[in-house]
């Protein structure tokens, strides 16, 4: 059965065999994937027109062809159709509102105009006149709450006016008087940007941005590209600027986030004196001068989402490459400490979801230790220094301080719980140990001994509900024990005795996978609080993997097969399926987090210790073209994706190197393997 992990499909998808769907959560959109695509052409090519509405319900009116025009056209997301003509023929006007409630004001007709007209989806009717007649002005807002600002009277203007559906009143002046500017937003949250400030009788392109709060204008972040005769769309906190003159004709697009502008995808057709409509995520550009009158329409989009298998992306590297370290916390608040480089380490590092930063060093350098807790309340205990250690340390988010020593020094032990309610059990000291100790935030006290002394075991759960399984005693062990906060009791034995396995889950819903039995094992077992039952085997048998998650949403990654592995697998409570490979194959690494937000760090990766950190997420690529990407943009897109997500290519697909349901590419065409 093929699993197509995608929520929206444009066009027709023919299914042969069965198809299941899977709901996934998107990750952040990769930078630089926004793009323009060609839409239906205007009926009348023109420049110096105005626009309103949305990408699927646009409105174009006025302009010059080169004769001054009163033509109105309506866009349905595919093509333009003729609407009712304006009462006043004009160019260099401004617009606002929607396709069914449009607003046109100002312009040159052929003298400076103060005329205002309202559109009802069929015809235009006269509204209240502007106080100041002008051309080359900008507009924003709606038919009942319009905003007009800037322009040429014929001097450059800073005047702002507000429309209430009947008449205009004066608002706060722009800080920078200018014309040929663009606007976006609403009457109480307006945005003005670009234009011509005409200094000393010379054309002077502006990059100035101003924000309106319904009373006054204040300076915002400057455009990256100073320009005039541009168009705009969107809102004050999600603005879009495109086209214009720099003095060359421009195809540049910029996106505003309420503070600063960033570059977006370039328009296909560089032009000036164009009109715009829509939003930052669904913009519309139409008309303009190229240097001939243009009927070109372009749509700006980041709409549809393609969901991939969960995938590893590179996180910030550990400052200190090492293996046999311990870890705690989550993907956004991880903690790594100790290990071997091959010298024994004190280094502690904190992960914030993007990069590692150095935290306070462990007081005692060591490896093969155990850990518990969180980034702000970590617990490290046991391990090997130059001898077996009983040292305990507590982390407060800044530095480690000595805690109460373990009663029994040991390495290869297991841990669970929190800084104030920790649990240490098993290990080697140097004989195999059955000792259990409980930590109360100050000192360790002896708990009930394990029935079976062992090391290289796996653990899960809490101080009051712990689970110990597998490991090595005098021989490989299948023993399972449950801790109730006082004593261990025998649980159901593992079906497969093994050491160096990984575990996840809780005392009542445990998960054991991989290990050495004595051959490398792919066995998976599920614990229900009483007995283990066989689950679906790992696809890739391995020892010394890292694990995370729960019984119904487990994650296994890395290990030795006997080759060092980068394989990742996800468990759904029944079977394992291949996930995205680690970028860096490794073993003896640390893991944390969940199936949907995993964290892998450190370990040994031939020929040296690794400092690599990777984050595991449900991947998503937001694009308008879900199956076949526009060839104009696929080089940029696929280069970015290959760097971030290691997407397979057609060579892998031809050799069955990718799994059913996974995405790959060839010559810019994105494909999903269905069979």
- Distance CA(655)–CA(406), nearest Å, equals 53
State the burial class of residue 207 (Cβ atoms within 10 Å of its Cβ: 0-12, 13-18, 19+).
Answer: middle
For position 393, what pLDDT does the model report? 84
The predicted-structure confidence for 383-418, as pLDDT tens digits, reads as follows 888 889 898 888 787 777 899 999 999 999 998 888
- pLDDT of amino acid 592: 63
- Helix (H, G, I), strand (E, B), or coil: what is residue 573? coil
Is residue 529 within 8 Å of 508, Cβ to Cβ? yes
The C-alpha atoms of residue 433 and residue 448 are separated, in whole angstroms, by 12
User: Cis omega (within 30 of 0) on the bond before 66?
Assistant: yes
pLDDT band at 344 (very low <50, low <70, confident <90, very high): confident
Q: Which among 166, 222, 160 has a CA at the least distance from the CA of 188?
A: 160
Report the alpha-carbon distance of residue 424 to residue 407 in Å, rounded: 11
| pLDDT at residue 58 in the model | 98
| Range name among 64-73, 175-184, 209-218, 346-355 with the lowest pLDDT average | 346-355
For residue 13, which phi and psi values (nearest 5 degrees)? Answer: -120, 120
* Model confidence at 447: pLDDT above 60: yes
- Between 141 and 642, the higher pLDDT residue: 141
| pLDDT for 5 | 35
Would you place residue 305 in the very low, low, confident or very high pLDDT band (cuts 50, 70, 90)? very low
Q: Which residues partner with 307 through β-bridges?
A: 620
Non-local (6+) Cβ contacts of 325 within 8 A are 336, 337, 338, 339, 340, 345, 367, 369, 589, 590, 601, 602
Where is pLDDT greater, at 6 or 35? 35
Residue with the two structure tokens 């893991």 = 591
Joined together, the tokens standing for residue 243 give 């086209």
**CATH class for domain 42-300?**
mainly beta
Query: What's the rounded mean pLDDT across residues 595-610?
Result: 68
- Check residue 582 and give its pLDDT: 74
- Give the list of residues 6+ apart from residue 67 with CB closer than 8 angstroms, or none: none
The reported pLDDT for the residue numbered 548 is: 76
pLDDT at position 581 is: 75
Provide, rounded to the nearest whole percent, the portion of the chain with pLDDT above 70: 77
Helix, strand, coil shares of the chain, percent, nearest 5, are 5, 40, 60
The per-residue pLDDT for 162 is 98
Between CA 114 and CA 135 the distance in angstroms is: 9
Residue 661 has pLDDT above 60, yes or no: no
**How many beta carbons lie within 10 A of that of residue 596, not counting itself?**
18
Residues 6 or more apart from 520 whose CB is under 8 A from it?
Answer: 514, 541, 542, 543, 560, 561, 562
Give mean pLDDT, residues 98-104. 98
pLDDT at site 17: 43
Q: Check if 42-300 and 322-449 are the same fold.
A: yes
205-219, 339-353, 546-560, 590-604, range with greatest mean pLDDT = 205-219
Whether the CB-CB separation of 579 and 569 falls below 8 Å is answered with yes
Q: Residue 334's pLDDT is what?
A: 66
DSSP 265-294: PPPSS--BS-EEEE-SSEEEEE--BSSSB-
Contact status, residue 653 vs residue 667, Cβ threshold 8 Å: no
The token pair at 320 is 């200190």
Instruction: Write out the two tokens for 498.
Output: 């093994």
Report the alpha-carbon angle 551-483-590, nearest 5.
50
What sign does the dihedral 47-50-54-58 (CA atoms) show? negative
Q: How many CB atoms lie within 10 A of CB 670?
A: 21
Model confidence pLDDT, tens digit, residues 476-493: 999 999 999 999 999 999
In CATH, what is the architecture of 322-449? 6 Propeller (2.120)
CA distances from 649 to 10, 103, 457, 664 (A): 22, 51, 39, 5
Structural domain boundaries of the chain? 42-300, 322-449
Per-residue tokens: 323:
């293996």
Least reliable range by pLDDT among 476-490, 557-571, 630-644 = 630-644
C-beta atoms surrounding 57 within 10 Å: 18
Dig out the tokens for 332 from the structure: 């956004």
Residue with tokens 């807002």: 141
Residue 563 CB partners (closer than 8 Å, separation 6+): 585
pLDDT one-digit tens code per residue, 261-281 = 999 889 999 999 999 999 998
| Nearest residue to 141 (alpha-carbon basis) of 155, 172, 162 | 162
* The pair of three-digit structure tokens given for residue 360, joined into one six-digit string: 């306070």
Model pTM greater than 0.85? no
Question: Which is more confident, 6 or 363?
Answer: 363
Q: How many CA atoms lie within 13 A of 181 on its CB side?
A: 36
- Cα angle vertex 363, ends 362, 366, to 5°? 65
pLDDT at residue 217 tops 70 = yes
How would you write 61-78 as a 3-class SS string?
Answer: ECCECCCECCCEEEECCC
108 Cβ contact list (under 8 Å, min separation 6): 68, 90, 91, 92, 93, 135
528-549 mean pLDDT: 91
């Amino acid at each position: 059965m093929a699993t197509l992990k995608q929520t929206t499909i444009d066009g027709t998808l023919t299914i042969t065999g069965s198809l299941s769907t899977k709901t996934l959560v998107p990750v952040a959109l990769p930078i630089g994937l926004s793009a323009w695509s060609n839409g239906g052409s205007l009926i009348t090519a023109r420049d110096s027109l105005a626009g309103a509405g949305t990408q699927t319900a646009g409105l174009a009116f006025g302009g010059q062809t080169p004769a001054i025009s009163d033509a109105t056209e309506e866009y349905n997301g595919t093509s333009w159709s003729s609407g009712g003509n304006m009462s006043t023929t004009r160019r260099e006007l401004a617009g606002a509102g929607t396709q069914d409630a449009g607003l046109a004001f100002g312009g040159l007709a052929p003298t400076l105009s103060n005329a205002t007209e309202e559109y009802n989806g069929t015809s235009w009717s006269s509204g209240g006149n502007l106080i100041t007649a002008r051309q080359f002005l900008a507009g924003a807002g709606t038919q009942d709450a319009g905003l007009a600002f800037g322009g040429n009277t014929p001097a450059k203007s800073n005047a702002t006016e507000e429309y209430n559906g009947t008449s205009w009143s004066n608002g706060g002046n722009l800080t920078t008087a200018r014309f040929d500017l663009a606007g976006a937003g609403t009457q109480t949250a307006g945005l003005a940007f670009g234009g011509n400030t005409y200094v000393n009788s010379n054309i002077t392109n502006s990059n100035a941005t101003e924000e309106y709060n319904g009373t006054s204008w204040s300076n915002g972040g400057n455009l990256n590209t100073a320009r005039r005769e541009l168009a705009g769309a969107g809102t004050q906190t999600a603005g879009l600027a495109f086209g214009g003159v720099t003095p060359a004709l421009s195809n540049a697009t910029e996106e505003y986030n309420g503070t600063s502008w960033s570059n977006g995808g370039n328009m296909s057709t560089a032009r000036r004196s164009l009109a715009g409509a829509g939003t930052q995520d669904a913009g519309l550009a139409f008309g303009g001068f190229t240097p001939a009158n243009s009927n070109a329409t372009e749509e700006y989009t980041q709409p549809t989402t393609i969901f991939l298998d969960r995938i590893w992306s590179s996180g910030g590297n550990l400052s200190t490459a090492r293996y046999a370290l311990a870890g705690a916390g989550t993907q956004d608040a991880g903690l790594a400490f100790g290990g071997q480089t091959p010298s024994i380490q004190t280094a502690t590092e904190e992960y914030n979801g993007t990069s590692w930063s150095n935290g306070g060093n462990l007081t005692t350098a060591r490896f093969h230790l155990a850990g518990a807790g969180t980034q702000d309340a970590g617990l490290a205990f046991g391990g090997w220094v130059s001898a077996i250690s009983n040292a305990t340390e507590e982390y407060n988010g800044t530095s480690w301080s000595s805690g109460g020593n373990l009663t029994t020094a040991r390495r290869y032990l297991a841990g669970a719980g929190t800084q104030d309610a920790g649990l240490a059990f098993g290990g080697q000291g140097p004989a195999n140990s059955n000792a259990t100790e409980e930590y109360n935030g100050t000192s360790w006290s002896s708990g009930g001994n394990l029935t079976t002394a062992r090391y290289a075991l796996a653990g899960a759960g809490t101080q009051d509900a712990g689970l110990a399984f597998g490991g090595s005693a005098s021989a490989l062990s299948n023993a399972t024990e449950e801790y109730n906060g006082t004593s261990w009791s025998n649980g159901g034995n593992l079906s497969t005795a093994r050491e160096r396995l990984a575990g996840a889950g809780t005392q009542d819903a445990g998960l054991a996978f991989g290990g050495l039995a004595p051959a490398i094992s792919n066995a998976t077992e599920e614990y229900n609080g009483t007995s283990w039952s066989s689950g679906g085997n790992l696809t890739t048998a391995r020892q010394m993997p890292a694990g995370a998650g729960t019984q119904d949403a487990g994650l296994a990654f890395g290990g030795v097969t006997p080759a060092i592995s980068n394989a990742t697998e996800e468990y759904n409570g029944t079977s394992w399926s291949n996930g995205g490979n680690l970028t860096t194959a490794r073993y003896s690494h640390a893991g944390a987090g969940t199936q949907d937000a995993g964290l892998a760090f450190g370990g040994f990766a031939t020929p040296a210790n690794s400092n690599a950190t990777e984050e595991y997420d449900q991947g998503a690529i937001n694009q308008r073209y879900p199956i076949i990407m526009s060839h104009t943009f696929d080089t940029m897109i696929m280069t970015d994706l290959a760097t971030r997500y290691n997407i397979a290519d057609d060579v892998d697909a031809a050799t069955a190197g990718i799994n059913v349901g996974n995405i790959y590419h060839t010559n810019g065409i994105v494909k999903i393997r269905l069979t």
